[in-house]
A and B are shown apart, each in its own frame.
Chain A
Amino acid sequence: SQQGEEDPQALSIQEGENATMNCSYKTSINNLQWYRQNSGRGLVHLILIRSNEREKHSGRLRVTLDTSKKSSSLLITASRAADTASYFCASQGAQKLVFGQGTRLTINP
């Protein structure tokens, strides 16, 4: 399969804690993107990091990219109940987006 892998598959933390999700991909990329999905609905784009970037921030989100290891991580700081969702990384080469299997994040009040 061309799909990437995400780790962990599920993560449960307390509100206010930080959440870290990891993603690995298989082919060379132009960019890597992270998406959020709530309960089987459509995906929401969170952040995009280009292959020549190593780190990017957006609000409470921090993404890192290591092209030598073909891996990325998403850090959500100061988590909130509304962050409960599934998070997917998606690697993009010359053409299509290839999604990982996702991490199911649960924020406990």
Chain B
Amino acid sequence: KAGVTQTPRYLIKTRGQQVTLSCSPISGHRSVSWYQQTPGQGLQFLFEYFSETQRNKGNFPGRFSGRQFSNSRSEMNVSTLELGDSALYLCASSSPGTGGQGAQYFGPGTRLLVL
């Protein structure tokens, strides 16, 4: 099976712009989670989607949003970008039947730089 894929891999934006990142989970996986990784804050949970519904949400401002499509692909959007949004954004999917409890399979990440 193909692994989790994320596009684009690298992105440069300027403050105030918005960005959309895409994630395709492993075939058959219906749960998709998003994480932000920065040197200062480490890995932080953004949100989780399951069957097109947001199931869990982390402690991030409303500028961060996401959605999931019927084919389980997910997108996250960050509006009004700030310098502090520069980070590696990781997407992960998990096997069906685990109820979200279990191993997460991560994509390679999208590295976002905000100038």
Which A residues are closer than 8 A to B by beta carbons? 3, 30-31, 33, 35, 40-45, 48, 88, 90, 92, 95-102
| Total A-B residue contacts, Cβ distance less than 8 Å | 57
Tally chain B residues at the interface, Cβ within 8 Å: 25
Pairwise interchain contact A43-B56, C-beta atoms closer than 8 A:
no
Question: Does more than half of chain B's interface fall in helix, strand or loop, or is it mixed?
Answer: strand
Partner of B42, one of A33, A42, A44, A102: A102
Residues of B within 8 A of A99 (CB): 35, 42-44
Residues of A within 8 A of B55 (CB): 95
Question: Does more than half of chain A's interface fall in helix, strand or loop, or is it mixed?
Answer: strand
Which B residues are closer than 8 A to A by beta carbons? 4, 33, 35, 42-45, 48, 55-56, 58, 88, 90, 92, 100-109, 111
Given A40-B88, A43-B106, check contact A30 B101 (CB 8 Å). yes
Pairwise interchain contact B42-A43, C-beta atoms closer than 8 A:
no
What is the CA–CA distance of A101 and B43 in the complex, to the nearest angstrom?
7
Q: Which residue of A lies closest to B47 (CB)?
A: A96
